[in-house]
């Protein structure tokens, strides 16, 4: 099967219309900052994550927590919980993982046992901020694309109220990233990044179009 012209158009509309809040938190000023687009959020958080300064890295990771909970109402509380519990040793180890432009694996980050970063949902957000071209997010909302009758990556995922980092789920995550890259290459000439394709599906599901999103996902190959 393959996507129809209408499905391609609809997915493009969802990608371009992705409406998750383009916000980050400026901890030096203790204030939320609303910016023009998600690309501004990406640049801000990535620059903090790859900084040589441990305080910047702490603020970058706290912003991953903040942004990931932006619609929840308790984003500041969760971010401050992270900042109150993270240790200098954990930050130093994270800094080593991302040095020289490296993109750490799910398992590498999980081994640090950082607060708020135990499952794939939030660890994949770190990875997607580091390299949105090749990696995307896998959370409970996007996992709803799964269907046990299908063979796509997300249909093999095992989750409950969280998505644990198991061998199976890790393979599903990386396959999901590859599926998003393939969809971009096959239907959009490679003009979208892996994270953009994922956000298109996310936007569809968030706007109560799960069945439409599933039909697109399963028809894409």
pLDDT at 221: 76
Q: How far is residue 137's CA from residue 122's CA, in Å, rounded to a whole number?
A: 8
pLDDT, one tens digit per residue, over 164-217 is 999 999 999 999 999 999 999 999 999 999 999 999 999 999 999 999 999 999
Report residue 37: phi and psi, to 5°. Answer: -155, 165
**Mean of the per-residue pLDDT values for the chain?**
98
pLDDT at 123: 99
pLDDT, one tens digit per residue, over 39-76 is 999 999 999 999 999 999 999 999 999 999 999 999 99
Is a pLDDT exceeding 90 seen at residue 125?
yes
Q: Which of 64-68, 99-103, 147-151 has the lowest mean pLDDT?
A: 147-151
3-state secondary structure the chain: CCCCHHHHHHHHHHHHCCCCCCEEEECCCCEEEECCCHHHHHHHHHHHHCCCCHHHHHHHHHHHHHHHCCCCCCHHHHHHHHHHHCCHHHHHHHHHHHHHHCCCCHHHHHCCCCCCCCCHHHHHHHHHHHCCCCCCCCCCCHHHHCCCCCCCHHHHCCCCCCCCCCHHHHHHHHHHHHHHHHHHHHHHCCCCCHHHHHHHHHHHHHCCCHHHHHHHHHHCC
Is a pLDDT exceeding 90 seen at residue 1?
no
Is a pLDDT exceeding 80 seen at residue 135?
yes
pLDDT at 12: 99
Q: Where are the domains of the chain?
A: 5-219
Is a pLDDT exceeding 90 seen at residue 18?
yes
* Residues in contact with 172: Cβ distance below 8 Å, sequence separation at least 6, in sequence order: 138, 153, 154, 156, 157
pLDDT at 148: 83
Is a pLDDT exceeding 80 seen at residue 89?
yes
Q: How far is residue 48's CA from residue 55's CA, in Å, rounded to a whole number?
A: 9
pLDDT at 95: 99
Percent of the chain scoring above 90 in pLDDT: 97
pLDDT at 29: 97
State CA 120 to chain mean position distance. 9
Size of the chain, expressed as the number of residues it contains: 221
């Amino acid at each position: 099967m393959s996507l129809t012209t209408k499905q391609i158009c609809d997915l493009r509309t969802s990608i371009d219309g992705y409406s998750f809040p383009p916000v980050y938190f400026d901890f030096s000023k203790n204030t939320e900052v609303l910016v023009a687009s998600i690309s501004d959020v990406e640049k801000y958080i990535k620059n903090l994550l790859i900084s040589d300064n441990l305080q910047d890295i702490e603020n970058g990771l706290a912003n991953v927590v903040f942004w990931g909970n932006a619609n929840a109402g308790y984003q500041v509380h969760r971010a401050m919980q992270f900042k109150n519990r993270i240790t200098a040793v954990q930050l130093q180890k994270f800094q080593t993982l991302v040095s020289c432009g490296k993109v750490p694996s799910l398992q590498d980050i999980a081994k640090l046992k950082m607060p708020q970063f135990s499952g794939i949902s939030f660890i994949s957000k770190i990875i997607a901020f580091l390299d949105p071209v090749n990696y995307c997010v896998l959370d409970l909302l996007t996992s709803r694309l799964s269907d046990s009758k299908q063979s796509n990556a997300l249909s093999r995922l095992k989750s409950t109220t969280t998505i644990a980092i198991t061998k199976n789920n890790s393979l599903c995550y990386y396959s999901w990233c590859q599926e998003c890259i393939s969809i971009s290459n096959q239907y959009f000439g490679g003009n979208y990044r892996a994270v953009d394709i994922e956000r298109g599906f996310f936007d569809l599901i968030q706007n109560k179009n799960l069945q439409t999103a599933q039909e697109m996902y399963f028809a894409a190959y």
